[in-house]
Structures are given as C-alpha cells and as structure tokens.
Amino acid sequence: MNTIKQRTMTVNGMPVLIEGEKNLLELIRKAGFDMPTLCYHSKLSTYGACRMCVVEDKKGEIMASCSTPPRAGMEIKTNTPRLREYRKMILELMLADHNRDCITCEKRNNCQLKELAERFGIDDVRFETYSLDGTKDHSSPAIIRHPDKCILCGDCVRVCDEIQRVGAIDFVHRGSRMEVMPAFNMPLAETKCVNCGQCAAVCPTGAITIKSNIAELWEMLADDNTIVQAQIAPAVRVALGDEFNFEKGENVMGKMVAALRMLGFDDVYDTSTAADLTVIEESKEFIERYSSGENLPLFTSCCPAWFRYAENYHPELMDNISSCKSPMEMFGAVLKEKAKKDAEETKSKKKTKVVAIMPCTAKKSEVLQERYHYEGEPAVDLSITTQELATMIRETGLNFADLQPEPIDMPFGIASGAGVIFGVTGGVTEAVIRHVVGPEDRNTLAEIAFTGVRGLEGVKEVKLPFGADKEISIAIVSGLRNAEELIQAIKKGEAHYDFVEVMACKGGCIAGAGQPFVEDRARAERSEGMYEADRMSNVRTSKSNPITDALYRTMLSGHNAHRLLHYK
C-alpha cells in the first residue's frame, strides 16, 4: 500500500493529495487556486493551446497544467513572476488580434478573455492589430459567427465534433492565417450545422453568439393591433434565475409569468401543457407501432437539433421518427386555431402572434420550417431564449427578485408534472411511460422514477414489462455523438430498442444553449428543479390533465388532433 508521501505533491508549497485527477489543472483547482484557462473544458479533449494554465516546477521548467498528469513528489508553483509575465504576454498577443469593441459586444457581461485581461491588469496592447476584416456570418437563423473575436481556442470545434458529431466548423489554414470556419468558408446556414448552439455556449469570447430576436419582439409587443401570447418551455423556469442571482436550479416560473405580463404579453401559457398533448399523441403512435411491429424503434421528434441531424445524416430513419410536432409547435397550432375561432366569434381584426420562450437555439430554426406552419403562416412566430428574456427584463428596468409570482392564464392554465419534466433528459420517456403504464398512484410513479430513466448520463437503458408477457426496451440518449453510436449499434444488430428518446444537448433542454452560461450549465441543480416541479404538481400524468381532456372533446376532436398536432 502506498504511503501518504507517495501520493502527494505540493502546489505553492502546500501538500496536496493526488486522488486520480487526470491533470495538474484539476488538482490545482482542488487545492483552491483558480487557474485561468481559455481552451479547457473537462468534458472535451485537452487541447493545450491557450497556455494560460502554465505552472513552474522547482527546476524552473514551465508546463501547461491542463496537459500534464500529476506525479507524486512534484513541486509546482502557479504564480511566479515569470508565469505572471508569460500570461500577460499571451493575453496581450491574443488581444492584438482581437476586435476590442467590448462595450457593444454581445458577450460583454461574460467574456472570459475580458475577465482575464482585467484579472491580469492588461492596460495596454503594445502590438499592432492585424488581420481584422470585420466579416460576420449572419446566415444562420440561430448562430452568428464573428471571426474577428476568435482566439483560436478550438472549444467550438471540439464540442461540435466530439459531443455533437456534426463537425460544421474546423480550423482552416495555419500559422498567422489560421481561422475557425466552415469548409470553403461557406455560410453556416449551408453547412450541416444543427443549430444546437453548443459552440456559442463554450465560446470564451463573442466569436460565436446566438442571434437575437429581441428587436422584432419589442415591435410586436408595442403593436396595439396584435395579441401577443407567450408559451414558456419547461427548462426555462429553472434557469432564468441564474441571471438574477437566484440559487441555481430555483424554479422562478411565477415571477417569470409576472414579468412577461409587465413586458406586454397579453396571455402567458406553459409549453408543458402542450407537452401533455405530445405525450398522448406519441404514446398512441408508439402503441400502434409496437403492436404492428412497424417502424421500430420509434425515435422522439421534439428536439429540433436532433431532427435536423437525422434529416442530414439519416434520411433512412425519417419513418422511424415520431410524426408528432414538438410541444412548442403543437401549442402554436392550438393557439392559432383558437385565435382564429375567437376572431370569427368576436369579429375582432386583431392578429394573434405566438412567442415561445425556449432554452434552445435550434427552435429559432424550427419556427421557420414550413412543415410546422398553421394555414400557411408560422404557428410560432418567434422563439427567444432564456437569455434574451433576461435581457428584456433588465431593459424594462424590472426588479425581477421583487416581482410577485403569478399563475399562467386560462384556458390552458394546467400542465401535468409529466409535461414539465420534458426539460431534462429522460423526461419525455418517463412521461410516456406514465401514460402507457397507467394508474396514477404514488407507488407506480415512484417505481417508474427508479427504472433508470433519471440521471444525467449520456446513454440510459430501460426495460419495462408490458402486458402479460411482453417487454418494452427503451434507450435515452443526449448528445448527438451518443445518438449516432446508438444508431450504429442498432444497425449492426448489436442493440434492439422499441423507443428511443434523443436530446441533442447533454442533459437535455436544461443545458440548452439558450440558457444562462453557468458552470457545467448547473445540470444537476436544474434537473433537480424539474423533478421538484413535478413532485409539487397536483396532476402527474398527461391524461389526468383536465385541459387536455377538454381539448380532445372540442378543438382536437376527430381528425383535428392529427391535423394540428402532427407534421405529416
């Protein structure tokens, strides 16, 4: 057995126990020193390019702590005069090739480069600025590229390839001419980009940002001849608070509803209500396919980045993907149908616009897709992110923390807990299981929760007894590379599933790129917030939601359910 001495090293003279850290950086951070980094993400491969995390050993050798494994007996320092000088020089060189319009930059509040320049007191850049040409790529409905702000850390390249397996962008050229861009410098909209926005979520600067629809929305809200209806996605409620100093994962739904009314929305609804419709429709579809054995496994369709990925890479699977619209689009169609009927009754000339508040950037592309249109017009007119909503709340001058919580509007004022948990990986599956398995009693619900549907792992498997002697085999994946590996396993016959839930963002919508960018996206806390909202709801299954019940007897009767809720 190793003695303690064989397992320790020193950091700034302090002994630290080595407990399986994969690199010095993690060990140093464990010891309480916040090492600066610009290109390091623990979930991605180590690149070692930014050199901000350099340390010095007792021989005076300098190494990047992110790419050096800890060894017993090592003695390193993290803050010597030489290291300070190195870091300042590196930052100064990065800034020399960086657009420094910080005040008007989208990332002004959370730019890691700006933060480090402040922390290391960079007051002056002595070098000539070069290679800035002002180009911006606005072609994508969700993502903006601004190469003049790129520091070549490659985080976006790695997340796009390693986590999402899309590889829409990569390094091009080399040396001083190196840039990150799509192949042939083609507009991002023409690549296989799925608009998941994870590149923007990891970008330390403003080189990749999310397109804002705030200006259009203000105009819409200011128009007296337009009724503006909001629908709030499940995952938004446990993340918006991050922008206003709430505890991570705290559910701020009530305050958000109040804020939306003060911004000028006429009606405020919860997308979870429509998620209940999705559960009912998708369960029906699943049971039909399961009984006939056709087009199995059934893949979920509610994640637009996954849907786009499947279109791009697996056209042969499109028959396996559920024909259900996403909850957002289902709700859009239902709201537009209701608005049309109401206008006919009251002879009102007012237009109705539906705005979705989403954790997601790919929804900005989804709202434009014709297959989801309602009578030739978008069912959802705009999709804004959690971060955009926070900006609007601040712009209005509301003190969010002091707002009195308010409930969502009737006649869609109830959502089941099953609808709410759509926001976390495994949530759709759990909601569908509740619907398929049946009785709403506490024990059954608890049993379902323990089948393995919960948890933030990228791949989960669940087997569920069905009927007298059958079994439903389910897979739940988040991260598109995980999805691809699962698809390959299915094709090779190594795995068999009846139902597959796919979410492009790791952890599900709670970690969407529209959410505030906090450490590890607060996945654990946001997930807990979702399940707590479920526990606290008095309706736990989609079929016991009186709203959906009423809808199926009226607006969604007969073939109307298919007309409004399915895209094909």
Partner 1 sequence: MEHEAMKAKIDEIIARHSESKPIVAILQDIQEEYRYLPKEALLYLADAIDVSIAKIYSVATFYENFSLEPKGKYVIKICDGTACHVRKSIPILNALRNKLGLSDSKKTTDDQLFTVETVSCLGACGLAPVMTVNDKVYPAMTPESATALLDELK
Instruction: Indicate whether 378 belongs to the interface with partner 1 (CB under 8 A).
Output: no
Beta strands 54-57 and 62-64 are: antiparallel
Determine the Cα angle at 361 with ends 359 and 366, to 5°. 110
Report the residue number, 169 or 228, with the smaller CB distance to partner 1.
Answer: 169
Q: How far is the CB of 154 from partner 1 (least distance, A)?
A: 11
143-162 positions binding partner 1, by CB under 8 A: 161
Whole-number Å distance between alpha carbons of 29 and 559 = 59
Of 112-120, 166-174, 362-370, 399-407, the window that binds partner 1 (rule: CB under 8 A) is 166-174
Residue 311 binds partner 1 (CB under 8 A): no
492 binds partner 1 (CB under 8 A): no
Among candidate residues 78, 77, 67, 70, the one with its CA nearest the CA of residue 36: 78
Q: Which range binds partner 1 by CB under 8 A, 10-18, 74-82, 167-175, 261-269? A: 167-175
Q: How far is the CB of 187 from partner 1 (least distance, A)?
A: 13
Helix boundaries (H) for 203-252? 214-222
Cβ contacts of 305 within 8 Å, gap of 6 or more:
164, 194, 195, 196, 360, 362, 480, 504, 505
Query: Which of 183-191, 346-354, 365-373, 427-435 is the region at the interface with partner 1 (rule: CB under 8 A)?
Result: 183-191
Query: Does 174 sit near partner 1 (CB under 8 A)?
Result: yes
- For 279, residues 6+ apart whose C-beta sits below 8 A from its C-beta are 418, 419, 428, 431, 432, 434, 435, 542
Question: Nearer to partner 1 by C-beta: 126 or 174?
Answer: 174
Q: Which is nearer to partner 1, 181 or 330 (CB)?
A: 181
Query: CB under 8 A: which stretch of 171-179, 278-286, 498-506, 529-537 binds partner 1?
Result: 171-179
User: Least distance (Å) from partner 1 to the CB of residue 173?
Assistant: 5
According to the binding rule CB under 8 A, does residue 183 interact with partner 1?
A: yes
Choice between 169 and 561, CB closer to partner 1: 169
Distances 266 to 83, 331, 405 between C-alpha atoms, Å: 57, 16, 17
Choice between 484 and 501, CB closer to partner 1: 484
The CB-of-195 to partner 1 minimum distance in angstroms stands at 16
Which strand (E) or helix (H) includes residue 118? helix 112-119
- From candidates 35, 142, 143, 166, binder to partner 1 by CB under 8 A: 166
249 contacts 529 by C-beta, under 8 angstroms: yes
Token code pair at residue 163: 């986590």
Among 5, 59, 126, 173, the residue binding partner 1 under the rule CB under 8 A is 173
Q: Is 191 in the site for partner 1 (CB under 8 A)?
A: yes
Q: Is 171 in the site for partner 1 (CB under 8 A)?
A: yes
d(CA 455, CA 476): 10
Count other C-beta atoms under 10 Å from residue 333's C-beta. Answer: 26
Stretch that binds partner 1, among 174-182, 205-213, 318-326, 384-392 (CB under 8 A): 174-182
CB of 182 to partner 1, least distance (A): 6
Residue 198 CA to residue 107 CA, distance in Å, equals 15
Q: Tell me, what DSSP letter sits at residue 378?
A: -
List the one residue out of 374, 356, 145, 52 whose CA is nearest residue 231: 356
Q: Considering beta carbons, is residue 21 or 170 the nearer one to partner 1?
A: 170
Q: What stretches of 314-370 show up as alpha helix (H) in DSSP?
A: 327-346, 363-366
Question: Which C-beta is closer to partner 1: that of 41 or that of 158?
Answer: 158
Report 385-424 residues binding partner 1 (CB under 8 A). none
Q: Which of 365, 117, 132, 406 is nearest to 269 (CA)?
A: 406
| Interior angle at CA 485, CA 479 and CA 489, nearest 5 | 145
Identity of the residue, 394 or 491, whose beta carbon is nearer to partner 1 in the bound complex? 491
182, 327, 359, 426: which one binds partner 1 (CB under 8 A): 182
**Exactly one of 130, 184, 316, 399 binds partner 1 (CB under 8 A); which one?**
184
Contacts of 211 by beta carbon, 8 Å cutoff, 6+ apart: 138, 140, 141, 142, 143, 144, 361, 364
- What angle do helix axes 271-292 and 427-437 make, rounded to 10 degrees? 60
3-state secondary structure of 19: coil
Task: List the one residue from 169, 257, 556, 561 that touches partner 1 (CB under 8 A).
Answer: 169
Q: Pick between residue 109 and residue 176 the one whose CB is nearest to partner 1.
A: 176
Nearest distance from C-beta of residue 176 to partner 1, angstroms? 14
Residue 152 CB, shortest distance to partner 1, in Å, is 12
Cβ 295 to partner 1, closest distance in Å?
25
195 binds partner 1, rule: CB under 8 A: no
Which single residue is written with the structure tokens 């619900």? 445
Total binding residues toward partner 1, as defined by CB under 8 A: 16
Bridge partners, 501 (sequence order): 476
Q: Does 49 bind partner 1 (CB under 8 A)?
A: no
Q: What's the distance, CA 18 to chain centroid?
A: 34
- If one asks whether residue 71 binds partner 1 (CB under 8 A), the answer comes out as no
> Which of residues 48 and 167 has its CB atom nearest to partner 1 in the complex?
167
The closest of 251, 316, 240, 303 to 275, measured between CA atoms, is 303
Q: Which is nearer to partner 1, 194 or 220 (CB)?
A: 194
Verify binding: residue 131, partner 1, rule CB under 8 A.
no
Q: Closer to partner 1 at the Cβ: 77 or 165?
A: 165
Q: Which residues bind partner 1 (CB under 8 A)?
A: 161, 166-174, 181-184, 191-192
